[in-house]
A = this chain, B = another copy of it.
Amino acid sequence: MDDRRVRSPGAAFLIAQLGGHSARRWIERLAKAGLEPREVMLFRHVAVNQGRSQREVADAIGLPQSRIVALVDGLEAKGWIRRQPSASDRRTNALHLTRKGQAALTKIMAVSAEHEADLTRGLEAGELDQLIKLLGKVAGVQDLIEGVHPGFGDANADQTQQTGDR
């Protein structure tokens, strides 16, 4: 069996491998800081889009409404966001960041910055710029930059490695 063809990495594999690694490390860092990835995902969305209803948030991040409930419960229990009952439509809750939430956001950004620095520590400044430029180019062609959210509702789309190992 001619190993070479089976093992050859290629950009697609490298990206998938590194992407999985990046996501995993980021989650580890969050965990150390007592943060859960899904909460963080929703929390950041609320932070950037304050005042949206749970329904709107659910649609935006591609999660069923039913899952939002527990997530919001948790974030509210932590005191990071609050459900603001709407006066005009008493069925809806507008989600807002609290003061405590601002602090949490700062912490999350710090964690992300650490993560970024760690992941790119092997590159010089110029190389990093190059890399970001090239990745951006790929992302652009893949219609990824604009819509941004990968979807990822499918937890089983795990970062399956595509190479011959070892």
Contacts and interface: CB of A to CB of B under 8 A. Distances in A.
Interface of A: 1, 3, 5-7, 9-24, 26-27, 37-38, 40-41, 44-45, 47-50, 60-61, 97, 102, 105, 109, 112, 115-116, 119-123, 127-128, 130-132, 134-142, 144, 147-152, 154-166
21 contacts: A1-B105, A7-B48, A10-B112, A11-B128, A13-B116, A14-B139, A18-B135, A21-B139, A23-B162, A24-B154, A26-B160, A26-B162, A27-B160, A40-B160, A60-B166, A61-B165, A122-B137, A123-B134, A130-B130, A131-B138, A159-B159
Contacts of A156: 155
Contacts of A152: 20, 24, 158-161
A10 B116 contact: yes
Interface of A is mostly: helix
A18 B15 contact: yes
Contacts of A50: 1
A36 B121 CA distance: 36
A47 B144 contact: no
A157 B15 contact: no
A160 B42 CA distance: 11
A20 B165 contact: no
A48 B141 CA distance: 33
A15 B116 CA distance: 10
B164 A48 contact: yes
